[in-house]
């Protein structure tokens, strides 16, 4: 039964996603029940039958409604914001012993919830392959990161494509089917081809001998293969089949561009002697290609939102999981033996120590500020703007992270509470402060256009929107909104 051994953690994670995807005016019990009930009718067939049965059992054990569990299980498929997942395969001559090593960082929402409630779940169904899934309790009826007893490992990276298909299968549910039925990359691809998907995704799939990146839209797939024993993936497609279907192409997504550039640089450093420890260093990497400095908060391989980090050794049926709070790759990694775990055989876990960066003032100070920012973001979602502004202001007392983003968030919060003078002040301050994040200027211009519209200064607003379009070349969502507001004033 879904969540039966981790009831508290599952409930907390499900509540987070129910709040995330249910508009505030629908959170009153009667309306919430109606929304969830009718949503479940349309969404239930997005999961494979075994996943639906797992959720039904979990509903009874947890005392939480089946529709709420279903919404949580489909969190990845419903999410529309861009993320910064990374993954890399090293095999053959690229490794120290001709091993195959698969490392992944998972970046998603829910810092303070999903990282705190991260689980390593060992699952075996009668007549199917046993496997491990690592991540939030909400993905136990599916998987985003896992490996089965045949040595097939798999990871899921977010990708937004133009051809989302409501009647397709959930991506995490599809991955769980692969883990329970496939013992090779070829078998996994056959299962993928046999099922349309709800949305796009990028998968890394390895077996004991080889690895591939499979790029997906709802009905099309493209496959990339290692070059000189190396293959990595972020949240951007490169195959001729999927690249044209992306909503966020490579040249429109600086985050992916910079991470992939950094991957190319750091792989050269370790090439020929990559082992588990050097893979840990790759996943921990936080060197900015903009400033050429190690940063806590920037466009880096190790994102501040990384909620789980895992390294698989398919040949050995071993894997390593980072423990602790986001960003988790800085923390200790602990080893697991999948064969022994599935057979309940005791063994000694190995430990790779935490990164020394965690003892630096940049990390300690920066994380204090970042955690306040996350709390403030939550307050904004709940429309508690005064509380959010106070938390953002407190976060500015700490160094080591990007203050321009905080100024922009403060400006947006003031805008939402209709304090236009204060909003303008902080937005301009954000745009004049150095930032690694390239969205600051286009988003700032868009917000200034909104302010001008609310002040009934239409020509000024249109001017800001046009500037936002020029500056927002890398951000299609900004361009789309700016064009809408040029046609119809923001209210």
Encode pLDDT of 339-365 as tens digits: 999 999 999 999 999 999 999 999 999
CATH match of 81-357 with 3.60.60.10? yes
Peptide bond into 327 cis (omega under 30): yes
- Residue 82 in tokens: 């861009």
| Mean pLDDT calculated for residue range 209-234 | 97
Q: 117 in helix, strand or coil?
A: coil
The pLDDT value recorded for residue 31 is 55
| pLDDT band (50, 70, 90) for residue 261 | very high
**pLDDT at 26 (0 to 100):** 45
Q: What value does the mean pLDDT take over residues 214-233?
A: 97
Of residues 71 and 426, more confidently modeled: 426
Sketch the domain layout of the chain as residue ranges. Answer: 7-73, 81-357, 362-487
Share of the chain above pLDDT 70, in %: 91
Q: Which long-range contacts (CB under 8 A, 24 or more apart) does 421-430 make?
A: 423/447, 423/451, 424/448, 424/451, 427/451, 430/404, 430/405, 430/406
Instruction: Give pLDDT tens digits for 443-458.
Output: 999 999 999 999 999 9
Q: What is the mean pLDDT of the chain?
A: 89
pLDDT score at 252: 61
Output the DSSP codes for 301-358.
SS-TTEEEEEEEETTTTEEEEE-SSSSGGGS-EEEEEHHHHHTT---PPPEEPPPGGG
For range 246-264, the mean pLDDT:
79
Question: Is residue 25 over pLDDT 50?
Answer: no
pLDDT tens for residues 401-436?
A: 999 999 999 999 999 999 999 999 999 999 999 998
Report the DSSP pairing between strands 333-337 and 351-352. antiparallel
- 11 phi and psi, to 5 degrees? -60, -45
Q: Of 64 and 210, which is predicted with more confidence?
A: 210
Which homologous superfamily is 362-487 in? Answer: Tetratricopeptide repeat domain (1.25.40.10)
136 in Cβ contact with 16 (< 8 Å):
no
């Amino acid at each position: 039964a879904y969540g039966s051994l981790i009831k508290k953690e599952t409930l907390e994670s499900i509540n987070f996603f129910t709040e995330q995807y249910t508009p505030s005016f629908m959170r009153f019990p009667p309306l919430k029940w109606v929304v969830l009930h009718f949503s479940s009718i349309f969404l239930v067939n997005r999961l494979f039958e075994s996943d639906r049965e797992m959720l039904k059992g979990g509903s009874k054990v947890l005392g939480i409604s089946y529709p709420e569990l279903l919404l949580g299980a489909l969190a990845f498929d419903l999410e529309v914001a861009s993320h910064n997942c990374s993954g890399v395969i090293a095999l053959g001559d690229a490794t120290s012993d001709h091993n195959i090593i698969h490392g992944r960082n998972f970046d998603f929402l829910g810092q303070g919830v999903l990282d705190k409630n991260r689980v390593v779940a060992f699952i075996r169904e009668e007549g199917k392959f046993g496997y491990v899934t690592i991540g939030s309790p909400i993905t136990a009826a599916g998987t985003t990161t896992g490996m089965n007893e045949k040595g097939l490992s798999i990871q899921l990276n977010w990708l937004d494509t133009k051809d989302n298909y409501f009647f397709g299968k959930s991506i995490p549910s599809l991955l769980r089917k692969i883990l329970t039925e496939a013992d090779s990359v070829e078998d996994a691809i056959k299962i993928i081809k046999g099922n349309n998907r709800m949305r796009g995704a990028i998968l890394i799939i390895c077996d004991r001998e080889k690895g591939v990146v499979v790029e997906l839209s709802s009905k099309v797939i493209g496959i990339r293969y290692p070059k000189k024993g190396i293959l990595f993936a972020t949240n951007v497609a490169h195959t001729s089949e999927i690249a044209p279907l992306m909503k966020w192409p490579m040249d429109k997504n600086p985050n992916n561009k910079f991470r992939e550039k950094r991957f190319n640089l750091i792989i050269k450093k370790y090439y020929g002697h990559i082992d588990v420890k050097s893979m840990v260093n790759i996943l921990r990497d936080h060197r900015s290609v903009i400033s050429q400095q190690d940063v806590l908060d920037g466009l880096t391989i190790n994102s501040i939102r990384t909620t789980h980090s895992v390294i698989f050794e398919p040949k050995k049926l071993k894997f390593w999981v980072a423990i602790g709070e986001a960003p988790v790759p800085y923390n200790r990694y602990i080893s697991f033996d999948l064969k022994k775990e599935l057979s309940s055989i005791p063994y000694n876990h190995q430990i790779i120590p935490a990164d020394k960066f965690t003892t630096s003032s940049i990390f300690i100070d920066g994380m204090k500020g970042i955690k306040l920012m996350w709390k403030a973001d939550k307050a904004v979602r709940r429309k508690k703007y005064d509380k959010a502004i106070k938390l953002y202001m407190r976060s500015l007392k700490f160094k080591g992270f990007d203050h321009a983003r905080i100024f922009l968030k403060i400006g947006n919060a003031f805008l939402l509470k209709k304090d236009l003078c204060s909003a303008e002040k902080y937005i301009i301050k954000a745009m004049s402060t150095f930032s690694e994040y390239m969205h600051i200027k286009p988003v700032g211009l868009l917000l200034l256009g909104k302010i001008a519209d609310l002040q009934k200064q239409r020509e000024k607003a249109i001017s800001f929107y046009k500037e936002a379009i020029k500056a927002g070349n890398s951000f299609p969502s900004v361009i789309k909104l700016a064009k809408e507001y040029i046609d119809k004033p923001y209210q």
